[in-house]
Amino acid sequence: MAPGGGYRAPAWLPGGHAQTIYPQFLPRPVVRYRRERLFAPDGDIWDFDWVDAEAPPDDAPLVVLFHGLEGGSGSHYALTLMALVHALGWRGVIPHFRGCGGELNHRPRAYHSGDHEEVGAMLAAIRERVAARTPIHAVGVSLGGSALLNWLGRAGAAAGRTLVRAAAVSAPLDLVAAGTAIDQGLNRIYAQHFLATLKPKSQAMATRFPGALDPARLAGIRSMFDFDDAVTAPLHGFAGALDYWARASSLPWLAQIGVPTLVINARNDPFVPGASLPSPAAVGEAVRLELPDTGGHVGFLQGPFPGELGWLARRLVEFVRAGR
């Protein structure tokens, strides 16, 4: 069954928004994590949540999940995928981007959609912690998908030394299009949801690291553009929001990816305009594009309303197993 099969959104809410909102309220599986505190190359903290298997063989797959904006191991997509990974006797790990593990990080740095250096360093740390025979597969969701694709494109065929296969789900491939979309119409509700946690973290960082951010500009943040202009850009070496969006977009890197990679984007994703999605000619031979008509943003619900969450996890595992 294709994503969205049998799902009917309520008449008063557009399908893309329904598939984006309702997963937040559906029952989530219970997953037991083992937390490991690591140190980043600059001495900052990383929190990795591991899903262990009982006496797995060295060649049991390990699935790495890079979460989305302000997400983590408790996000619905993370729990659904990791529950399936555990049921198969595989292992999993969710490396939290800085500030997303439940504790403020210790350096004047955050995370962003083009954070390929962070993804590469996290994957290197994971590779060091498992047997050489362990096949590692990486999945990135939304912002995490964009950052993973940025790393994959830059690494090219060399990524094969770390990963066997990769997948990106609902990644904002063109950040100019996605960044503009999230501040318009109904999407402003989502933007305010993200800002409810992003702004306090930024204000705390400005207090702890005087000079890193401008408190007056933080007080004036009303949109995701404002946030990226006042926080993301100065913390990570961009000239402003537009410079960040242009330089951190993963779309230009899709042609350089050298390991089998699945890219799933629903055409009715309210954050990622369908017109911004690439054609098969714009990606490399290693990339498989799946652009279903429905699914919203990291939704892909199935069955009668309000739907069930399992399709995405099953599709990702199918790709890891079969490479198609």
Nearest CA to 145 among 255, 42, 253? 253
Residue 3 in contact with residue 292, Cβ under 8 Å?
yes
My answer on whether 161 and 100 are in the same domain is yes
Tens of pLDDT, residues 180-215: 999 999 999 999 999 999 999 999 999 999 999 999
My answer on whether 260 and 168 are in the same domain is yes
Q: How far apart are CA 167 and CA 288, in angstroms?
A: 9
Residue 7 lies in a domain: no
Of the listed 73, 75, 113, 142, which one is catalytic? 142
Q: Is 293 among the catalytic positions?
A: no
Give the confidence band of 146 by pLDDT, cuts at 50, 70, 90: very high
What is the pLDDT, as a whole number, of residue 4?
A: 56
My answer on whether 38 and 130 are in the same domain is yes
Cα 311 vs. chain centroid, distance in angstroms?
17
Residue 310, burial from CB neighbour count under 10 angstroms (0-12, 13-18, 19+) = middle
Query: Sign of dihedral through CA atoms 226, 230, 231, 237?
Result: positive
Residue 207 lies in a domain: yes
My answer on whether 203 and 84 are in the same domain is no
Q: Is 269 among the catalytic positions?
A: yes
> Domain boundary at 248, 266, 288, which?
248
> Domain boundary at 202, 233, 248, which?
248
My answer on whether 156 and 23 are in the same domain is yes
Look at the chain and report how many structural domains it folds into: 2
What is the pLDDT, as a whole number, of residue 143?
A: 98
My answer on whether 99 and 158 are in the same domain is yes
> Domain boundary at 204, 230, 248, which?
248
Is the pTM value of this prediction over 0.85? yes
Give residue 243's domain range. 184-248
Of the listed 47, 49, 174, 269, which one is catalytic? 269
Q: Is 297 among the catalytic positions?
A: yes
My answer on whether 143 and 114 are in the same domain is yes
Beta strands in 237-299 (DSSP E): 261-264, 287-290
Tens of pLDDT, residues 101-139: 999 999 999 999 999 999 999 999 999 999 999 999 999
Task: Tell me what the mean pLDDT of segment 273-291 comes to.
Answer: 96
My answer on whether 140 and 255 are in the same domain is yes
My answer on whether 84 and 166 are in the same domain is yes
